[in-house]
Amino acid sequence: MSRQDGSGRQVTTGPVDDSGTPILHVDMDAFFASVELLRRPELRGQPVIVGGGGQRGVVSAASYEARRYGVYSAMSMALALRKCPNAVIVPVDMPRYAAISKQVMAIFEEVTPFVEKLSIDEAFLDVGGARRLHGSPAEIAWTIRTRVREELGLPCSVGLAATKFVAKVASGRAKPDGLLVVPADRTLEFLHPLPVSALWGVGRVTEESLGRLGLRTVADVAQTPLDALERAVGPAVGRKLHALANGVDPRDVSTHHVEKSIGHEQTFRHDLTDPEEIRRVLLRQAEDVAVRLRRAGLLGRTVVLKLRYTDFRTVTRSRTLGEPTDVAKRIYDEVCLALDGLDLDGDRVRLVGVRAEQLRPSGAAASLWDPDEDWRQAERTVDRLTERFGRGAVRPAALVRRGEHDRVEPQRGQVDPFLG
């Protein structure tokens, strides 16, 4: 979700040279909030926050009216309400958002087969081969925005450029509900005045490292010797930032999606302090992750534990396995070992998460010795029973005895990065 609040909006309003800009980045504007306004139009013009769980919840999306108060996604609901006490809170409805997202992506795919879906609400399109049927890139972008608005009632912003990076920056500058074309020969003119935070991959830590060198703008980074950048932020990051700052981004729009991680996390209405209670949560989450791995035909080599404390400190601990797995017992055992390495000492925990990373296809180069084979067969039997009788038909005894823990909102999906 974008953090733009509409200030500093920049759009294309007249004729422009789009001959060298085949890459589109389409980003739905405040997607969850915009979808909610379709069924509650009386809220238009009001600050709307999509989220759950009252004061202990997390903001999933905010309308532009709410963003102007400083409310953004991933912010705690308590802080959001302090910033914007007159906000209207609407609960999350992921099935509805997913269904509408499919309709949005279907419109894109009618224009070009080269669609790279980045998330539920944004995608790259390569329209270089669609000119004969649909017109110039700018005409195609205009058509897409019009269709999404007329057919679905939703606003979106589009950036057009010669590269993916510049197209994504342009769509952000065009928000909300705008279109910005960056002609290929004006790429550096567009990029160089921007702050270093506009560069892909520059977060707070990297921005501070660049700031210590006196680098405040993209132009500063572009003009800095490569070896100095590499010393400041590391060779790989330094090379990437130097290339992007000079308008170089050779990546094509890719229609092949590869999962990077599969995970599950929960924020609780009441803090957890009992390690055994945390272990029961981890057991359930390990089961969920394992099921999703098996359904996707994937194995995970690294298991990650995430805890967030009541003061919002967040810790992650990872363990890399000798052999990748899709077995809940193995995942659970590893996250428990990671938990044992933390000194909780009465700390109050508000969020718990489990994730599998370093994924690979389950049929790839299997080991001659599989330490999880017996458990895998048992869990696949449970999968079949679940398909027949429904979720929860067969559960570990620990969960059956003690029941499911009260939760606010499961943050999950095909790839659902942990929020830091």
**Site of tokens 């599950």:** 264
Q: How far is CA 193 from CA 94, 211, 411, 417, in A?
A: 38, 15, 37, 31
Cβ atoms of residues 315 and 266 within 8 Å: no
Question: 401, 276, 381, 379: which is closest to 329 by C-alpha?
Answer: 379
**Site of tokens 């980074």:** 221
The DSSP-derived string for 57-113 is -BEEEE-HHHHTTT--TTSBHHHHHHH-TTPEEE---HHHHHHHHHHHHHHHHHH-S
Question: 198, 131, 112, 121: which is closest to 158 by C-alpha?
Answer: 121
**Site of tokens 């991933």:** 74
The DSSP-derived string for 7-25 is TT-----S----TT--EEE
Structure tokens at 331: 């995942």
Question: 264, 311, 317, 28: which is closest to 145 by C-alpha?
Answer: 28
Question: 240, 294, 270: which is closest to 352 by C-alpha?
Answer: 270
The three-point CA angle 93-96-100 to 5° equals 140
**Site of tokens 């108060």:** 69
In Å, how far from its chain's centre is CA 118?
Answer: 8
Cβ atoms of residues 356 and 286 within 8 Å: no
Positions of E strands within 102-199: 115-119, 122-126, 156-161, 179-181
208 is catalytic: no
Q: Which of 36, 65, 116, 122 is catalytic?
A: 122
Kind plus residue range of the DSSP H or E element containing 303: strand 298-309
Is 171 strand, coil or helix? helix
Name the residues annotated as catalytic. 122
